[in-house]
Chains A and B, each alone.
Chain A
């Protein structure tokens, strides 16, 4: 089962390697990992999507909490968080097919970023599942390059992840 975990960490060099190292050496599977600064420049926020049963995710949380530079760990309950991922995809599209692709993009809320005589580059920012659907629909046009950011997530409602250790 997939779990979305938010981790607040000290904005130090080397923190990311400690976290990714922890996952690999303890045999936890990362599906995606996204990291960036927060409104507090001393804190970075990492969103990890990991696969595993309840016992595994409990261990992931506990082991993350043991890292000195980890300030707070939270695994989001299903449906209790808002998640987004960005995908940029480059397609081979002949000029006569352009309008078709644009229609699909419009329906699915993707944007055209760039166009050449033979290619189109589209971006979509949505949930992981929606990105997968989009990929499925445009795949027949010929994907030649694709890049995704990994999921970032935040809790629904007024609750926040405050930098107080669990």
Chain B
């Protein structure tokens, strides 16, 4: 069927089942927006207030829907603003498809208004990118982009479309499948390696499973829970793996790493075999991987062969999709017991006792614990970056069906609010809470308008301490408490700010208000904001 490339682009999105897109228009992407208007009924466009947040919203949407999500920006600054969101998605292997407008083909390279080489600039952070110069390629490029973003190790794919190309006419047929000769992601694991892994797991006296974000990418939560339970193997997670296990699971030991919990790190040090499942052993998760590998047998499943052996020496590598590999393993394994080992780890687990804080402030860890006790099981919690992230990761007690979203790899401040918008829209039935600090909140507070405009019912918790708390702590510990450039003086009154947007809000500056605030988050109809006042010297761990 003959149509413009713009219309073809919209048809591609429809064919991929895209119902929501996040974006910000500009001259170079106008032909596409003009066509989007004709499909308002099928595709809802959400106008963000900054392009990076279009990327983060798509990120949140993709993580909850389990499928690639779409963000759109115009050429030049619109496209370059997207880069941080692209890098964030890349670091955490989140499938997003980014569509950018580009200046006319004959003007490329001549530094015209709002021209930026976005495929070049984003190259280090994309799984793949296209500059769509040939109109006839539109269907193939879109098909490939969604396929590449969502399969194998997921990641961001960028499609840059010059304005003149958007206006050209093509004969459009959306391909049913795509075959890229140079891209064949691995599915099942090598049967021989699977057997070796199972044998090693069976023979270990103190085995430990480390769950990473790859378990979510592969939708393998059920399989990993089954395997751990059947073989009675304790579990730790990386930050990206949090919420794959229910917190009350007797085998669950918590998050590892420099900001992890004692019980989890002790488990890593004490185990004789560490089974990494979709975890890339980032420096924050395991600070001295080479030392660990000397004393511990390392088994590693990853869909990306490049992750195996990159950061930690591996005794048994196993390339494959975590879900399929675990299914293969489940056919081979037999029930086991590791009672002594599990008991040993139980001794190391600690319960948090709330501390008495300075008057006018609240214990943030206690607040998060109490929030988690009140929230329904199927809640999505979006943690930002900084102290608030660690308080949330280590104190929110996830139940079965709960989900934590956070930026584990890139540590992008301001992620939580836009990502929560996307996450909520992906599944409106899931209660969705963004938890951030007063630093991160001010990096994306313009998105309050996006949430209000589109009626996205998210709850926002801001932990305010008038500091960039994690940097403050670093300066306290590492720089003789010379606090520099960490003071957030001049911040607005967040309650008044929320009200200016028509958002209900309350401040918690004492223990007495905690229940009332939590009740508001759990029961309030529509978007609301809670400010939790925290002592500026309150520790991260």
Which A positions have Cβ atoms within 8 angstroms of B?
9-10, 14, 17-18, 21, 25, 55, 58-59, 62-63, 65-66, 68-71, 163, 165
List 16 other contacts, CB 8 Å, given A21-B123, A65-B306, A68-B148. Answer: A14-B119, A14-B131, A17-B120, A17-B123, A25-B124, A55-B309, A59-B306, A62-B306, A66-B304, A68-B128, A68-B183, A69-B182, A71-B182, A163-B181, A165-B181, A165-B183
0/1 per residue, B419-435, Cβ < 8 Å to A?
Answer: 00000000000000000
0/1 per residue, B98-129, Cβ < 8 Å to A?
Answer: 00000000000000000000011001100110
Docked complex Cα distance between A9 and B180 (Å) = 12
For A71, list chain B residues within 8 Å (CB).
Answer: 181-182
For B120, list chain A residues within 8 Å (CB).
Answer: 17
**Are A62 and B305 within 8 A (Cβ)?**
yes
B37 at the interface (CB under 8 A from A): no
A58 in contact with B309 given A14-B131, A17-B123, A18-B123 (CB within 8 Å): yes
Docked complex Cα distance between A165 and B152 (Å) = 14
A70 in contact with B182 given A21-B123, A25-B124 (CB within 8 Å): yes
Which B positions have Cβ atoms within 8 angstroms of A?
119-120, 123-124, 127-128, 131, 148, 180-184, 304-306, 309-310
- Choose from A17, A18, A63 the contact partner of B306 (Cβ within 8 Å): A63
Residue pairs across A and B with Cβ atoms less than 8 A apart, 5 shown, are: A14-B119, A17-B120, A68-B128, A68-B180, A71-B181
**Are A68 and B306 within 8 A (Cβ)?**
no
For A14, list chain B residues within 8 Å (CB).
Answer: 119, 131
**Are A21 and B124 within 8 A (Cβ)?**
yes
What distance in Å separates the Cβ of B190 from its nearest Cβ neighbour in chain A?
A: 14
Docked complex Cα distance between A68 and B184 (Å) = 9
For B127, list chain A residues within 8 Å (CB).
Answer: 68
Docked complex Cα distance between A118 and B309 (Å) = 57
Question: What residue in chain A is nearest B184 (Cβ atoms)?
Answer: A165
Docked complex Cα distance between A59 and B306 (Å) = 6
What distance in Å separates the Cβ of B135 from its nearest Cβ neighbour in chain A?
A: 17
Docked complex Cα distance between A30 and B306 (Å) = 19
Docked complex Cα distance between A17 and B120 (Å) = 8
Docked complex Cα distance between A63 and B305 (Å) = 9
What distance in Å separates the Cβ of B376 from its nearest Cβ neighbour in chain A?
A: 40
For A68, list chain B residues within 8 Å (CB).
Answer: 127-128, 148, 180, 182-183
Docked complex Cα distance between A65 and B304 (Å) = 10
What distance in Å separates the Cβ of B97 from its nearest Cβ neighbour in chain A?
A: 14
Which residue, A9, A66, A163, has most C-beta atoms of chain B within 10 A?
A66
What distance in Å separates the Cβ of B356 from its nearest Cβ neighbour in chain A?
A: 49
What distance in Å separates the Cβ of B86 from its nearest Cβ neighbour in chain A?
A: 15
What distance in Å separates the Cβ of A14 from its nearest Cβ neighbour in chain B?
A: 7
Question: What residue in chain A is nearest B309 (Cβ atoms)?
Answer: A58
Docked complex Cα distance between A48 and B465 (Å) = 53
Docked complex Cα distance between A71 and B180 (Å) = 10
**Are B182 and A10 within 8 A (Cβ)?**
yes
Docked complex Cα distance between A18 and B123 (Å) = 7
What distance in Å separates the Cβ of A84 from its nearest Cβ neighbour in chain B?
A: 27
Top 10 closest pairs, chain A to chain B, by CB: A62-B306, A71-B182, A68-B128, A68-B183, A165-B184, A62-B305, A25-B124, A21-B123, A63-B306, A66-B306
Docked complex Cα distance between A86 and B32 (Å) = 50
**Are A65 and B123 within 8 A (Cβ)?**
no
Docked complex Cα distance between A25 and B119 (Å) = 16
For B305, list chain A residues within 8 Å (CB).
Answer: 62, 65
What distance in Å separates the Cβ of B15 from its nearest Cβ neighbour in chain A?
A: 21
Docked complex Cα distance between A62 and B120 (Å) = 22
**Are A59 and B123 within 8 A (Cβ)?**
no
A165 in contact with B306 given A14-B119, A21-B124, A68-B128 (CB within 8 Å): no
Which residue, B119, B180, B181, has most C-beta atoms of chain A within 10 A?
B181
- Choose from A21, A63, A165 the contact partner of B182 (Cβ within 8 Å): A165
What distance in Å separates the Cβ of A16 from its nearest Cβ neighbour in chain B?
A: 12
For A55, list chain B residues within 8 Å (CB).
Answer: 309
Question: What residue in chain A is nearest B306 (Cβ atoms)?
Answer: A62
What distance in Å separates the Cβ of B389 from its nearest Cβ neighbour in chain A?
A: 26
For A21, list chain B residues within 8 Å (CB).
Answer: 123-124
For B310, list chain A residues within 8 Å (CB).
Answer: 59, 62
Docked complex Cα distance between A59 and B308 (Å) = 10
Docked complex Cα distance between A9 and B182 (Å) = 8
For A63, list chain B residues within 8 Å (CB).
Answer: 306
For A69, list chain B residues within 8 Å (CB).
Answer: 182
Docked complex Cα distance between A25 and B180 (Å) = 26
For B309, list chain A residues within 8 Å (CB).
Answer: 55, 58
Docked complex Cα distance between A63 and B306 (Å) = 6
What distance in Å separates the Cβ of B118 from its nearest Cβ neighbour in chain A?
A: 12
What distance in Å separates the Cβ of B149 from its nearest Cβ neighbour in chain A?
A: 11
Docked complex Cα distance between A10 and B128 (Å) = 13
Docked complex Cα distance between A66 and B123 (Å) = 13
Docked complex Cα distance between A142 and B305 (Å) = 50
What distance in Å separates the Cβ of B93 from its nearest Cβ neighbour in chain A?
A: 12
Docked complex Cα distance between A75 and B105 (Å) = 38
What distance in Å separates the Cβ of A37 from its nearest Cβ neighbour in chain B?
A: 17
Question: What residue in chain A is nearest B120 (Cβ atoms)?
Answer: A17
What distance in Å separates the Cβ of A22 from its nearest Cβ neighbour in chain B?
A: 8
What distance in Å separates the Cβ of B523 from its nearest Cβ neighbour in chain A?
A: 47
For A163, list chain B residues within 8 Å (CB).
Answer: 181
Docked complex Cα distance between A149 and B406 (Å) = 48
What distance in Å separates the Cβ of B287 from its nearest Cβ neighbour in chain A?
A: 19
For B181, list chain A residues within 8 Å (CB).
Answer: 71, 163, 165
Docked complex Cα distance between A65 and B306 (Å) = 9
Which residue, A25, A66, A68, A163, has most C-beta atoms of chain B within 10 A?
A68
Docked complex Cα distance between A63 and B127 (Å) = 11
What distance in Å separates the Cβ of A82 from its nearest Cβ neighbour in chain B?
A: 26
Question: What residue in chain A is nearest B157 (Cβ atoms)?
Answer: A68
Docked complex Cα distance between A25 and B127 (Å) = 15
Docked complex Cα distance between A166 and B123 (Å) = 23
